[in-house]
A and B are shown apart, each in its own frame.
Chain A
Amino acid sequence: MTSVIIISGYLALLLLLGLGSSRLFSGSGNDYQLAGHSIGPFMLLMSLFGTTMTAFALIGSTGEAWQNGIGVYGKMASSSAIVHSLCFFVIGVRIWKLGHKHGYTTQIEFFRDRLQSAHIGLVLFPILVTMVIVYILMGILGAGTIVNVFTSGAFPTLFPGDPAARQTVGAVPASLGSLVICCVVLVYVFFGGMRGTAWANTFQTIVFIVLGVVTFFVIAANLGDGTAVENMRATSAQIDARWASRSGTSTSVYLTYMFIPLSVGMFPHIFQHWLTARSANSFKLSVVAHPICIMLVWMPCVMLGIWATTDIAASLVKPLAGLSHNVPGNQNKVLPILVNELSGPVLGGFLSAGILAAIMSSLDSQFLCMGTMFTNDIAKRYFTKGEMTDRQTVFWTRTFIILVVAVSYGVSLLNPRGVFGLGVWCFSGFSALFPLIFAAIYWRRLTRAGAYACIFAAAATWGILFRAALTGNEPLSEYLLTVDLGGTSWDIMPVAAMIVVSSIAMIVVSMVTKPPDEAHLQRFFRGK
């Protein structure tokens, strides 16, 4: 019940924050979709970090470390520390400048203008929307599961559950948990728009960073009878070399995994956040502090994951013995079990709020982005001939946000657990389009035909590889390509092939087609 009270209080606080931010709403479409370009350095950092980190940063990182050892940090955290900041620096700052100069709100508006292609949106829109919806579904399903796990035993009369499975008794059903989270996010995004989203993201990001660190020290202090440091040393001394090194990780997979964080450069919701910045200088803090924020969240979680493999943890935390490394999904139970057994109900409640914070700080940006894209790229473009008053813009954005939330929640009720396997494919798809946004900003020779070639090549390569993964024996998320190089076979991530093919298609087709007008290029590039 303690968890329920803390989660409820946290959600109520979020609603208040969203409604409070709406008091500053000026009524303009720009203010609703981009917070009137008023977001300063700290809120931009928190928004970007909160949006790029999902529940995986807390639960998944602990579970993956428990499953495979410390390699997950290099694969996903320190690589993101380099690549995410690179994207903010190389893409974000330029996009902010062009967005301010030409009045863009969505990625498609930028590409349509830069490539002089009135209908590129018809090709890009379905691709971007499909991939973001997969991302949203992972968030909604994950939130439902968290609410379900952390409310176990709270409402035995209302939700009797299955007496054979003790964990389900009295727990809020996952579908109801997802509905509550969707409604809370919907309310603060609906009323607060981008400002509400940025405020909520800032609050939620602080919550999950602080709670991650606090959880780490509380659990360390309870891992034995000594001081926290003594307990840490005693537990670390028991970690098997398999988890304390990367002996089980392929070097070529590790190398090519570095292409995955490039997806941040093509996320439409990150694009929209970039445009909210008050000035280009606002980006500096995000570029510098993002790697540190990643470290603060990931380091404690990875340490907890490898500690959970030791005999000390097994003797103190009995439920860990019931987890098998061979059962899919077991790894996601490691952090909740450690928290429940070693920290007590209050911290457990706060941690569940922190995990929900990580999920909601991504969901809100995605909902708002979808509403904005439907309004600006479809409704405004094809139904109102480019004309919309501020009132209509806000009305349609809100309407589409409600529709996106309703449809996403409806699909989540079908319980498509397969979407979790699609996660890495979704990120790979965005990464495969990274060459397009990079070339649009830095390569004058990029042509409209080259851009289409890039999109089609990315989509085709993705489709071919995905089909191969579907027919393979391994889980979707573990599908790898094998290439022969110098007489040796190397496993690589499919994303590497996607990026190579989309880049080659873009470059070759651009070089053999007519270059854009110089006068048009002057709008995007300084000098010649």
Chain B
Amino acid sequence: MKYGIWGLVLLLTVLHQDLWYWNDSSLVGGIVPIGLFYHACLSVAAAFVWFLATQFAWPLGDADESQPGGES
């Protein structure tokens, strides 16, 4: 699952380079340029991918969640 999450993060990075909408100035809903709308959706997708990351690839175990005070 962890590798799947990192695959999704990589996919987000690739999707960020959206050459396919580079010169497209059409409007979504008659209001938002499609390139901007696409990147707003990408922001939402990023939030979803990071949600999955916190659920399935959290870097710490339960034992790490509460640590004793500093030693130095």
Interface contact A247-B67, CB-CB below 8 Å: no
Contacts of B46 in A (CB 8 A): 78, 81-82, 85, 291
Q: Looking across the interface, which residue of chain A has its beta carbon closest to that of B52? A: A288
A251 contacts B27, C-beta separation under 8 Å: no
Is A400's CB within 8 Å of the partner chain B?
no
Instruction: Please measure, in the bound complex, the distance between the C-alpha atom of A73 and the C-alpha atom of B33, giving whole angstroms.
Output: 12
Residue B1 CB within 8 A of the other chain: no
Q: Is the C-beta of A245 less than 8 angstroms from some C-beta in chain B?
A: yes
Which residues of the other chain, A, contact B58 by a CB distance below 8 angstroms? Answer: 93, 284
Asked if A407 lies at the interface with its beta carbon under 8 angstroms from chain B, I say no
List B contacts of A70 (CB < 8 A): 33, 35-36, 39
Q: How large is the interface on A (under 10, 10 to 19, 20 to 34, 35 or more residues)?
A: 35 or more
> Are A232 and B22 in contact, CB atoms less than 8 angstroms apart?
no
The reply to whether B54 and A288 form a contact with Cβ atoms under 8 Å apart is yes
Indicate the size class of the contact surface on chain B.
35 or more
In the complex, chain B residues whose CB is within 8 Å of the CB of A78: 16, 39-40, 42-43, 46
Proximity string of chain A (210-243) to chain B, C-beta cutoff 8 Å, 1 when within and 0 when not: 0000000000000000000100110011010101
Q: A236-B27, A279-B65 are in contact. Are A246 and B60 (CB under 8 A)?
A: no
Q: How far, in angstroms, from A246 to B58 measured CA to CA in the complex? A: 36
A521 at interface (Cβ–Cβ under 8 A)?
A: no
- Taking CB atoms and an 8 Å cut-off, the chain B residues in 14-52 that contact chain A are 16-19, 21-25, 27, 30-33, 35-36, 39-40, 42-44, 46-47, 50-51
From the candidates B16, B35, B42, name the one contacting A244 in the complex (CB within 8 A). B35
Stretch from A146-154, A266-274, A292-300, A416-424 that touches the partner: A292-300
Q: Which of B12, B21, B25, B64 contacts A239 (CB 8 A)?
A: B25
Instruction: Tell yes or no: A141 within 8 A of B by CB.
Output: no
Chain B residues with Cβ under 8 A from A85's Cβ? 46-47, 50
CB distance from B51 to the nearest CB of A (A): 5
User: Nearest-CB distance from A489 to chain B (Å)?
Assistant: 18
Indicate the member of A229, A241, A280 with the most B CB atoms within 10 Å: A280
In the complex the two chains form, is B36's CB within 8 Å of A294's CB? no
**Judging by beta carbons under 8 Å apart, are A244 and B71 in contact?**
no
Residues of A within 8 A of B9 (CB): 82, 86
Partner of A247, one of B18, B23, B68: B23
**A316: B residues at CB distance < 8 A:** none
Please determine whether B59 and A94 come into contact, CB atoms closer than 8 angstroms. Answer: yes
Question: Which residues of the other chain, B, contact A279 by a CB distance below 8 angstroms?
Answer: 65-66
Min CB distance B21 to A, Å, is 8
How far apart are the CA atoms of A214 and B35 in the complex, in Å?
24
In the complex, the answer to whether B30 meets A236 with C-beta atoms within 8 Å is: yes
- The 8 Å CB contact of B30, one of A86, A103, A233, A280, is A233
Residues of chain A in range 245-297 having any CB-CB distance to chain B below 8 Å: 245-247, 249, 251, 254-255, 258, 279-281, 284, 287-292, 294-295
Complex Cα distance, B19 from A129, in Å, reads 39
Chain A, Cβ-Cβ closest to B51: A288
Residue A302 CB within 8 A of the other chain: yes
Provide the residues of chain A in CB contact with B42, threshold 8 Å.
Answer: 78, 81-82
Contacts of B12 in A (CB 8 A): 82
Given contacts A74-B16, A280-B65, contact A102 B25 (CB under 8 A): no
Q: Are A82 and B16 in contact (CB under 8 A)?
A: yes
Q: Across the interface, do A239 and B33 meet the contact criterion of CB distance under 8 Å?
A: yes
A101–B72 alpha-carbon span in the complex (Å): 9
- Given known pairs A82-B16, A245-B22, the reply for A89 and B71 (CB within 8 Å) is no
Determine the distance from Cα of A243 to Cα of B27 in the docked complex, in whole angstroms: 12
What's the Cα separation between A457 and B50 when bound, in Å?
33
Residue among A77, A233, A244 making CB contact with B33, cutoff 8 Å = A244
Cβ contacts under 8 Å, A290 to chain B:
47, 50
**List of 10 A-B pairs having minimum Cβ-Cβ separation, nearest first:** A103-B70, A244-B25, A241-B25, A100-B67, A244-B33, A295-B43, A245-B25, A291-B46, A78-B39, A233-B30
Q: 24 A-B pairs, CB-CB below 8 angstroms?
A: A82-B9, A82-B12, A82-B42, A82-B46, A90-B59, A97-B67, A99-B70, A100-B69, A101-B68, A103-B69, A232-B30, A236-B30, A244-B27, A245-B25, A247-B25, A249-B22, A255-B17, A287-B50, A288-B47, A288-B51, A290-B50, A291-B50, A302-B36, A303-B32
